[in-house]
Amino acid sequence: MRIFLVRHGESLGNISEGAYRQFGDHNVPLTEWGYRQALAAGRGIAAYLAALPDAAPRASIWYSPYLRTRQTMDAIIEALPKGAVGEVHEDYLLREQDFGLFTEIYDRAEQRRKFPEEFEKWARLRNNSGKFYARPPDGESRADVAQRVRLFLLTVMHDIGGGNDTAIIVGHGVTNRAFEMNFLHHSVEWFERSDNPGNADVTLIEGTHAEGYSATLLHKADDRNPAEATDMRGAYGSALTIAPKTGG
């Protein structure tokens, strides 16, 4: 079995936190550069599969319903050879971590200013229980994310089973890290020590139930050239399918 974990490519939210307020977290699109990153990730997966001694079965794909992950999934499918993709599934269990009252507010000073009591309570929880268990007000802790990703893992194992099956999972930094933690039975300490994968990075989990599984960074996405930092920063696509939020 081989599972390719792909984080979405660079989104408008990665270069400007204002994009979360403009579009809403679930509707933030990739940048043009992010779509290029996602295409390169797909080519990396295609090259790996092409180099296998035996023909790989068609890959099943699961993806988060957020716009940036859907666009990343589209780019990966575009980059894979015709006939390489099997069933494609959207799964809400792969969505981004819910930050509750702090959704669309990623600056800690602004969080404290807008919700001082809730922020102080969250700070106490992080100090007393640890970041993994502390829930943002009305949101999810990392432990909550890990629990729902474990439920998603049951779906993957049921659908692709054992043997030489291949899956591609397109998610977010925390959800992908939670998947790796659950699949490889890593500890909470491992989760807290590890970093989120970069935009459009591909982690390969491969092995068998009898011999065990391991994870490697298969593809590291290219960063922007500082000399071209202003290029390809616009939203991917000539027209967004979902209009930005207005008012309120």
Residues labelled catalytic: 8, 96
The answer for residues whose C-beta is within 8 angstroms of residue 137's C-beta and 6 or more apart is 100, 101, 102, 115, 118, 121, 122
Given a contact cutoff of 8 angstroms between Cβ atoms, the answer to whether 159 and 60 are in contact is yes
What one-letter code names the amino acid at 135? Answer: R
CA–CA dist 209, 216 (Å, integer): 17
3-state secondary structure of 115: coil
Q: Give the N- to C-terminal CA distance of the chain in Å, as an integer.
A: 48
Name the token pair of 107. 């600056």
Closest by CA position to 94, among listed 140, 63, 71, 67: 63
**Cα–Cα distance list, 225 to 22, 33, 158 (Å):** 27, 11, 43
